[in-house]
């Protein structure tokens, strides 16, 4: 009986191993796949202007695998006279390659067009097709559609940007180039001083990075250098690579606004996007209900046409308590606010009253958010 039971168990085990082996064999059997026979969108000869935050949609007819298994897709792009043997760009379709469609951000399409030799602000043709695959077998579609792509005047948005040249704070040594801060809307911003000389914007601080300058129309252009004829002066420079727009305004002054007395105290520029006032005595205003210590900051700006304007920076909160030892660093973060006397004001710590204090405003990339520090002497 025991021998029969052992024999039966052995037979079942052998069958199970055999089935598992067969399943593995089936999993790794190569299967042929058909080529995509129709490209739906964009249709042949379509035109696409890749400006702004839009998305280009590509769709095609599904291919078939011989074993009815899963087919994966890859979209290929090439120059108009290319044969896709060395595509200029490729990417898997949506769903990690499972879907017969893909959505491509305009920013990526702009980069693809650039790789095809289409210059910024101009239109040119490129073509696209689809490669289907099953396992190690793949086939390119025999069909390709031509797509006319018009690029905006701007450029592909880099991961970082720097300012260098004889007119800048750190001179023309590339390794010491001053870093821009990247904002959320693809704009780069820097607060820095410039003197007479030349400046250019680069996308890296080593090697031979792509360089840009500002032309006579205030637009970003590739190559060259921007000539600065006067100075020294402090500027806020904003650059949008995607649109080639540049805004350059002079920061005439930065001031502490002490709301209780409605007074302004100038804070000198110290370099590297930092303003610092040393030994500033702050006296709270005594009220019947206690002492008032609210403050924020006023920036006076001058545009290229000479017109002055004010920008106010204050707290992320409409109202605040006095900071203490365990107050989070976000308390001192500075954001644009209104010129309302009280709203979004900071509050000095109790120990500041009547003392000498160093007040330091930091608008550079050494901090994750623009901020300020108050150091009690």
**Per-residue pLDDT reduced to its tens digit, 235-292:** 999 998 878 889 999 999 999 999 999 999 999 999 999 999 999 999 999 999 999 9
What per-residue confidence (pLDDT) applies to 136?
Answer: 83
Q: Note the helical H segments in the chain.
A: 2-27, 106-115
Q: Taking a C-beta distance cutoff of 8 angstroms, is the pair 205, 177 a contact?
A: yes
What per-residue confidence (pLDDT) applies to 66?
Answer: 84
- Provide the token pair at 209: 């990075």
CA 200 from chain centre, in angstroms, equals: 20
The residue ranges of the chain whose pLDDT is under 50 are: 1-28
What per-residue confidence (pLDDT) applies to 351?
Answer: 97
What per-residue confidence (pLDDT) applies to 30?
Answer: 65
CA gap 233, 196 in Å, rounded: 10
Neighbours of 206 (CB within 10 A): 10
What are 308-324's pLDDT values in tens digits?
999 999 999 999 999 99
In the block, tokens 């025999």 appear at 142
Q: Is the pTM of this model over 0.85?
A: no
What per-residue confidence (pLDDT) applies to 304?
Answer: 87
> How far lies 31's CA from each of 76, 140, 324, in Å?
22, 16, 69
């Amino acid at each position: 009986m025991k021998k029969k039971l052992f024999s039966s168990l052995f037979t079942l085990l052998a069958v199970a191993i055999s089935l598992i082996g067969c399943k593995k064999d089936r999993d790794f059997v190569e299967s042929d796949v058909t080529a995509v026979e129709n490209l739906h969108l964009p249709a042949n000869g379509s035109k696409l202007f890749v400006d702004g935050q839009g998305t280009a949609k590509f769709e095609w007819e599904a291919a078939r695998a011989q074993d009815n298994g899963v087919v994966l897709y890859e979209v290929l792009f090439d120059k108009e006279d290319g044969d896709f043997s060395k595509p200029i760009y490729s990417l898997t379709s949506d769903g990690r390659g499972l879907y017969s469609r893909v959505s491509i951000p305009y920013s990526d399409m702009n980069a693809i067009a650039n790789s095809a030799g289409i210059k910024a602000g101009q239109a040119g043709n490129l073509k696209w097709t689809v490669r289907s695959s099953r396992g190690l077998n793949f086939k390119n579609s025999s069909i390709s559609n031509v797509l006319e792509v018009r690029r905006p005047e701007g450029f592909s948005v880099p991961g970082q940007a720097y300012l260098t040249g004889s007119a800048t704070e750190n001179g023309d040594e590339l390794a010491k180039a001053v870093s821009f801060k990247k904002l959320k809307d693809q704009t780069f911003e820097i607060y820095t001083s410039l003197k007479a000389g030349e400046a250019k914007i680069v996308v890296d601080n080593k090697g031979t990075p792509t360089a840009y300058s500002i032309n006579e129309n205030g637009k970003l252009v590739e190559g060259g250098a921007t000539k600065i004829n006067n100075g020294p002066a402090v500027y806020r420079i904003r650059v949008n690579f995607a649109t080639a727009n540049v805004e350059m305004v002079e920061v005439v002054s930065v001031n502490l606004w002490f709301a209780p007395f409605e007074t302004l105290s100038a804070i000198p520029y110290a370099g590297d996007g930092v303003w610092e006032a040393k030994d500033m005595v702050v006296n709270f205003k005594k009220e019947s209900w206690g002492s008032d210590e609210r403050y924020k900051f006023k920036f006076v700006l001058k545009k290229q046409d000479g017109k002055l304007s004010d920008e106010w920076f204050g707290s992320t909160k409409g109202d605040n308590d006095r900071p203490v030892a365990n107050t989070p660093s976000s308390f001192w973060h500075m954001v644009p606010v209104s010129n309302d006397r009280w709203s979004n004001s900071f509050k000095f710590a109790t120990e500041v009253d009547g003392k000498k204090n160093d007040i330091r405003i930091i608008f550079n990339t050494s901090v994750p958010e623009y901020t300020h520090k108050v150091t009690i002497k």
